[in-house]
Amino acid sequence: MSENRRRDPRREWIARNRLHPEHASVLAALGEIGGGAAASEWLGPNGVIRRNPRAIGFIGPNGVKRIDRSGAQQGGQAAGGTRQAAQDSRRQVTIEAPAFLVAVVPDLSGGRLSGHDKDLLGLARRLADADPERPGAVLAVVFGEHKEDSFGEAGIDRLLHLADDAYAGFAPEARLAALAAVERELAPRHWLLPDSPLGGADLGRRLALRLGERPATGVWQLEPDVGSPLGWRCTARGAAESLDIQRPLPRVALALAECAEPVDETRHAAVPLSLAEAIPSALSRIEDLGQVAVDPAGVALAEAEFIVSGGNGVKDWDGFHYAARVLGATEGASRVAVDDGFMARHRQVGATGTWVTARVYLAVGISGAIQHLQGIQSCDKVVAINLDPGCDMIKRADLAVIGDSAAILAALVAKVEQQRGGQRDAA
């Protein structure tokens, strides 16, 4: 449509005249242009704004008219639209010809960018965007299979995905060889890794020594400093967290969680990249024989990865314990289950129990009281089994199944056992 608003006085007149036979259709047409609802405001024939107060607001869930004066009208279908708009408010940034590269090697634990990874990418963006005239690009080197689809939102401009089997599991030598190849070919100005046990902490130290750099470890703060070789000064934790070391930022830095704010205003291109030369295969003196089955009951609740938690809605406790064993999950409980004596006190999840960090939390017959929800704040995926579709746990859950807990758990156990039996037959 052109810039000038074309007015149609006849249609405006019909729109104002409720008794006109074409009134409804004209309103609908105007509404389509105006975006969904009947127009509540329009420019009158004399250039004066006219308002229709009856067109304001929406009909709430109980059939009562509601008026939202914040400007962001919600309710009904409009809610979906605003959420869409909120997501799209990120500014798209594309860096065509970067002046330099900031390489980041995220942990990608469980196949997704962790909070630590996102903080680190925020730090990388600070380094890359410091000089708006000559912006750098953030290069992420990602090993193995992943389930992440928002690399761009996290602030990544270039993505190097090395999906070879050789990088699976604990393969520091193969990964190091790949990073050395990246160094030779792309020569990033900065290397950033998360200082997280067994992830970046291990790989980053190896990388730094391979590159002949003395890395900064435990970095938690970064300031511009013209006197330093790279133009930055960092503050790092040393001596078992008892010392702050201020030093010029070296090429390789291992940063702690919360070292910077994660990216939340821009969306980056995450252009896939590949290396021109083949990565030389490293001689491996370490062989990964895979994870060992540990008894999930012995794992501390606070650090368990997969928790099956039972509440007042669990009636068949033997079935619950059996399900936890078959699923290989650590057991948790709500306070009611503990108070009623079905579970031990140290199994209680929540404000007065344990704050858990599980990646998957299966809540069986738990209503989701705020004291309980507090305890599962940092869980990634919450699955709820409950009879009541309106309870708060369902609102928190990523997947909720409405039904009787005992029946669903039994079906789940049967399913897992059947799959396992099938695999054994096939093998």
Partner 1 sequence: MRPEQQGVEVAVLVSVGRHPITGRARRADQDARGLELALGLGHQLPGSRVSLLHAGVLDEASEASLRGYLGMGLETLTLLEQTEGADAIPALAEHLAAAPPQLVITGARAERGEGSGLLPYALAERLGWPLVSGLAAVETVENGVATLLQALPRGQRRRLKVRLPAILTVDAAAPAPRQSAFGPARRAELEVTPVAAEPDRELAQWRLAPARKRPKRLKIVKAASARDRFKAAAAKAEGGSGQVLEGVSAEQGAEAIYKLLKEEGVLPR
Q: Which of residues 363-392 bind ligand FAD (CB under 6 A)?
A: 365-367, 369, 371-372, 375, 385-388, 391
Interatomic CA distance for residues 156 and 354, integer angstroms = 35
Q: In whole angstroms, how close is the CB of 358 to ligand FAD at the nearest point?
A: 15
Residue 141 burial by CB count (10 A; 0-12/13-18/19+): exposed, middle or buried?
buried
Does position 332 bind ligand FAD by CB under 6 A?
A: no
Interatomic CA distance for residues 147 and 145, integer angstroms = 7
Give the interface segment with ligand FAD, choosing from 163-171, 254-262, 312-320, 410-418 (CB under 6 A): 312-320
Does position 290 bind partner 1 by CB under 8 A?
A: yes
User: Which entry of ligand FAD, partner 1, none binds 290, CB below 5 to 8 A by partner kind?
Assistant: partner 1
Q: Report yes or no: 129 and 146 within 8 Å, Cβ to Cβ.
A: no
DSSP 123-151: HHHHHHTSSTTS--EEEEEEES------T
User: Which entry of partner 1, ligand FAD, none binds 298, CB below 5 to 8 A by partner kind?
Assistant: partner 1
DSSP 81-109: HHHHHHHHTSEEE--SS-SSEEEE----G
Interface with partner 1 in residues 356-395 (CB under 8 A): 357, 359-360, 362, 368, 370, 373, 380-383, 385, 389, 392, 394-395
Crossing angle between the packed helical segments 9-16 and 23-34, to the nearest 10 degrees = 110
User: Which entry of ligand FAD, partner 1, none binds 351, CB below 5 to 8 A by partner kind?
Assistant: ligand FAD
Beta bridge partners of 158: 139, 271
Residue 322 burial by CB count (10 A; 0-12/13-18/19+): exposed, middle or buried?
middle
Does position 304 bind partner 1 by CB under 8 A?
A: yes
Q: In whole angstroms, how close is the CB of 378 to ligand FAD at the nearest point?
A: 15
Q: In whole angstroms, how close is the CB of 182 to ligand FAD at the nearest point?
A: 47
User: Which entry of ligand FAD, partner 1, none binds 367, CB below 5 to 8 A by partner kind?
Assistant: ligand FAD
Q: In whole angstroms, how close is the CB of 383 to partner 1 at the nearest point?
A: 6
350 or 368: CB nearest partner 1: 368
Does position 201 bind partner 1 by CB under 8 A?
A: yes
Does position 267 bind ligand FAD by CB under 6 A?
A: no
Q: Report yes or no: 193 and 204 within 8 Å, Cβ to Cβ.
A: yes
Q: In whole angstroms, how close is the CB of 384 to ligand FAD at the nearest point?
A: 9
Which position among 129, 305, 380, 404 is part of the footprint of ligand FAD (CB under 6 A)? 404
CB within 8 A of 361, min separation 6: which ones? 307, 309, 332, 376, 379, 381, 382, 383
Does position 405 bind ligand FAD by CB under 6 A?
A: yes
**Whole-number Cα distances in Å, 79 to 61, 84, 168, 304, 419:** 13, 9, 42, 36, 41
Interatomic CA distance for residues 312 and 352, integer angstroms = 17
Checking 292-296 for CB contacts under 8 A at 24+ apart, the result is 293/328, 296/324, 296/328, 296/329, 296/330
**Whole-number Cα distances in Å, 206 to 197, 254, 275, 290:** 13, 12, 21, 22
Does position 92 bind ligand FAD by CB under 6 A?
A: no
User: Which entry of ligand FAD, partner 1, none binds 394, CB below 5 to 8 A by partner kind?
Assistant: partner 1
109 or 374: CB nearest ligand FAD: 374
Interface with ligand FAD in residues 239-258 (CB under 6 A): none
DSSP 199-266: THHHHHHHHHHHHT---EEEEEEEEE-TTSTTSEEEEEEETTTTEEEEEE--SEEEE-TTSSPPP-SE
Does position 322 bind partner 1 by CB under 8 A?
A: no
51 or 345: CB nearest ligand FAD: 345
CA-based R_g, the chain, Å: 29
Which position among 352, 377, 378, 419 is part of the footprint of ligand FAD (CB under 6 A)? 352
415 or 420: CB nearest ligand FAD: 415
Does position 309 bind ligand FAD by CB under 6 A?
A: no
Residue 164: name the closest of 192, 141, 185 by CA.
Answer: 141
Residue 52: name the closest of 38, 64, 65 by CA.
Answer: 38
Beta bridge partners of 333: 310, 348
The site for partner 1, by CB under 8 A, has a size of: 97
263 or 337: CB nearest ligand FAD: 337
Give the interface segment with partner 1, choosing from 31-39, 109-117, 185-193, 334-342 (CB under 8 A): 109-117
100 or 170: CB nearest partner 1: 170
Interface with partner 1 in residues 229-248 (CB under 8 A): 237-247
Does position 353 bind ligand FAD by CB under 6 A?
A: yes
Given the rule CB under 6 A, which residues bind ligand FAD?
311-313, 315, 334-337, 348-353, 365-367, 369, 371-372, 375, 385-388, 391, 404-405
